[in-house]
Structure 1
Amino acid sequence: MLNQLKAMIQYLLPKQMLTVIFGWLAKKQLGIVTTWMIQGFSKLYKIDLSEAQISNVKEYKTFNDFFARELKQDARPIDASTNSVVMPADGVISQFGTIQDNLLLQAKGHFYTLDSLLACHPDMIKFFKNGAFATTYLSPKNYHRFHMPCDGTLREMIYVPGSLFSVSKATTECIANIFARNERVICLFETDFGPMAQILVGATIVGSIEVAWEGLITPPRDGIMKRWTYSGEVKLSKGEGMGCFKLGSTVITLFASNAIEFDSHLKIGDQVRVGQKLAERI
């Protein structure tokens, strides 16, 4: 009942307006006010700043600088096996498993389709039909940079405009098709494991989504789908940074059928970190 109430509130909230206001505030240099905001946020979410490259909150000029903070070089060891796929982000594994023909599990009782997630892109749908997926939820307390699960060469990127529903456990259990309704950035890579996609899902108060090779993708939010194609000039290594969110969101990772097998110890609800083993080559 409580989760349903939270979901109902999501429909009533002015999500776009809240996101614009917070995004504007988060990029302003407000001196002592910025420091107070960061201190309060860190205390509320029990954030461990000792692993950050900058551990003194007074050195962050904006809240965005703090939120997209980089970690010390050895803070996230990357599994070194050539056959392994690693976690792309810190967070919680909210779902993972096999794509049943065209259906992915969102939460108990809720499914959504590859067609809707991938904006009806025919080639990508063909690549990942009956494939494997893993959904990683990043809460406000998490480190908010996302990384490559394996070596890959970028072939295509698509920005899909959409809603900005919260992607917390409460809303994913109650709002149907939420990942395909929300704003997202789809990144398609060619890898030694076959095609791999990382879908970066926006949410309420996610001020921006950035990627390393193009910079800021959103905002602005002009409601237009955008597409970039690449000819091999963008190559990223396993564990290398892909980009960042400004506030909590979700990363969905897709592999083709019979490409990977998930780690036998992995369970829904697991707290995970960048670089830990997610799966291995079949």
Structure 2
Amino acid sequence: MITNNMWRLGRLVRGCQCCGSLLRITSQRSTSLVRSCTSSVNVRYVRNARRRWRVIVPGIGLSLLAGAQWEYLHKHGYSIDIHDRPELLNDVVVTCYCCLPLRMTSRIWGWLTSIELPVGLRPALYGFYASIFHADLDEMELDLSAFPNLVEFFVRALKHNARPIAENANMISPADGKVLYFGPVTSCRVEQVKGVTYDLRQFLGDLNDSTSNRLADDYVNSLLKNPDNRLYQLIIYLAPGNYHRFHSPTDWNIKFRRHFPGKLLSVNPKVLKFMRNLFSLNERVVYVGEWTGGFMAYTAIGATNVGSIRVYCDGNLATNTVQWPEIAHPKEANLGYAPIAKGELFGEFRLGSTIVLLFEAPRDFRFCLQVGQTIKVGQALSTHSNDEPEERQIERRHLIMDVAQDWRDIWKPKI
């Protein structure tokens, strides 16, 4: 009996030992399982945290950069003088658009388009570009493979007599492009497209002592050499597919050049429709002089992705450079009444942009254009300026008809 009890006690002890070992194994497995779950959760959390910071850090940096640009914009610049009073841009969309680093992107784009391309790829790439933007390759003087990069293709020369110069017109088109606006200038608020204006005084600046002391309403009249004349304007937009060299519109003498560093906002007509004063904000080069009709200002306006503006008679001109606040003011150069003939090659855009032509002419000057039409270099801008006005012609025709009727009455037999 004692033996049986001892045997049962031994089995009980061995059972307890097995249960203890099982408990230890179970606890070890549960601990390892908990540890593995905890480690996977930690890894997942770390990975998610890294992804969040990869998004958050650049976002914070861009936000700080935008905030700094916004503060600088409202403290220092891009003011528009309206009625002799500076006004800052208040529209949120326009201000955000002005905050974009368009000058940097334009310089990068200018560098990319200056990279030399393989000779074998040039015809295919330039032909593809021409098909997209409807460029006429039949007018080119050189073969497509002769242009080392895209910029040189942009400023391509045309064949001789590809742009005949109108001989019976005093003023011709200076560039190929689309007519955005034309007509007389009667005040400092001038149309850049129909219904949207820019400030002429801000656009040209005070050209001399007489204009600096004038009120806004008298500024236009102070530009005229002959008070009986009128100031006229023509705006031509150069699309990416257009011929990008610009010419002289008439025989004139250039007195001086004024370079405004400015912004590089897009001058696409769709942008011009909702952003007034864009011409007064953008980088531009104004050449002021005289022609037979009087005052003349020839302006080449920079734009987004325009690498640079080159003027052949002005070797010191440098556009689209690094702009610092302390040097962001107009730079002048005296050209000493440099003569330039009608139709003569004047300069080139390193990508498309806009030409604004302001000139003085008699009051009977009439444009033979339409807004939105395509125009080319050498095309006449008007009929003869010495032609009679339409009212005088109608009056003259009525007078001739009256005289003829009187003569018929005189010779009519009386009954």
- Using the size of structure 2 for normalisation, the TM-score is 0.61
**RMSD value over aligned CA atoms?**
2.4
**Residue 274 (str. 1) matches residue 274 (str. 2):** no
User: Is 2:238 the partner of 1:138?
Assistant: yes
Residue of structure 2 in register with 1:47 after alignment: 135
Answer yes or no: is 1:96 the counterpart of 2:199. Answer: no
**Alignment partner of 1:38 is 2:134:** no
Tell me: CA distance 1:34–1:22, structure 2 relative to 1, closer, same or farther (3 Å): farther
Alignment of 1:243 with 2:347, yes or no, is yes
Count of residues paired in the alignment: 274
Q: Which has the higher helix share?
A: 2
- What SS does the aligned partner of 1:261 have? coil
Match of 1:3 in 2: none
1:204 aligns with 2:310: no
Give distance in 2, aligned partners of 1:113 and 1:161. 17
1:58 aligns with 2:159: no
| Equivalent pair of 1:211/1:217 in contact (CA under 8 Å) | no
Map 1:39-188 onto structure 2 (within 5 A).
Answer: 39-54=127-142, 56-81=143-168, 83-122=169-208, 125=219, 126-127=222-223, 131-188=231-288
Whether the aligned pair in 1 keeps the contact of 2:103 and 2:320 (CA below 8 Å) is no
Residue type of the alignment partner of 1:274: V
Tell me the SS of whatever aligns to 1:86: coil
Query: Shift of residue 257 of structure 1?
Result: 5.5
Q: CA deviation at 1:52?
A: 1.1
Encode CA deviations 1:198-226: one digit per residue, 9 max, x unaligned: 11000000101000112453132433421
**In 1, distance between residues paired with 2:346 and 2:372?**
24
Note closer, same or farther for the CA distance 1:191–1:105 as it changes in structure 2 (3 Å cut): same
Kindly provide the CA deviation profile for residues 34-62 of structure 1, in whole angstroms up to 9, marking residues without a partner as x. Answer: 555423311211211111111x2211012
Conserved? CA contact 1:7–1:170, under 8 Å:
no
Structure with the larger strand share: 1
Q: How far has the Cα of 1:259 moved from its partner?
A: 6.2
Which residues in structure 2 correspond to 1:222-261 (within 5 Å)?
222=323, 223-232=328-337, 234-256=338-360, 258=362, 261=365
1:217 aligns to 2:313 (yes or no): no
Gaps of 5+ in 2: 1-92, 212-218, 387-415
**Cα displacement string for residues 61-113 of structure 1 (whole angstroms, at most 9, x for unaligned residues):** 121111111111110000102x5200010001100111122221122332222
- In structure 2, the CA distance between the partners of 1:7 and 1:143, relative to structure 1 (3 Å rule), is farther
Aligned-pair distance for 1:197? Answer: 1.0
Q: 8 Å contact 1:119–1:160 — kept in the other structure?
A: no
Distance (Å, rounded) in 1 between the aligned partners of 2:364 and 2:106:
37
TM-score normalised by structure 1 residue count? 0.89
Distance in 2 (alpha carbons) for counterparts of 1:8 and 1:44: 32
1:87/1:66 Cα in 2 relative to 1: closer, same or farther (>3 Å)? same
Q: 1:53 to 1:10 in 2, by over 3 A?
A: farther
Higher Rg? 2
CA contact (8 A) 2:184 2:231 kept: yes
Q: Aligned in 2, Cα 1:68/1:260: closer, same or farther, shift over 3 Å?
A: farther
* Stretch of structure 1 that moved more, 44-53 or 101-110: 101-110
Once residues 275 and 9 of structure 1 are traced to their aligned partners in structure 2, the CA distance between those partners, rounded to angstroms, is 40
4+ runs of 1 displaced by more than 6 Å?
Answer: 6-9
User: Identity of aligned pairs, percent?
Assistant: 32
**What's the secondary structure of 1:179's corresponding residue?**
helix
SS in 2 for 1:254: strand
SS at match of 2:336: coil
**More deviation, 272-281/204-213:** 272-281
> Which whole-Å CA distance do the structure 1 matches of 2:195 and 2:130 have between them?
35
Separation of aligned partners in 1, 2:372 and 2:362: 24
Shift of 1:20: 0.7
In structure 2, the CA distance between the partners of 1:9 and 1:133, relative to structure 1 (3 Å rule), is same
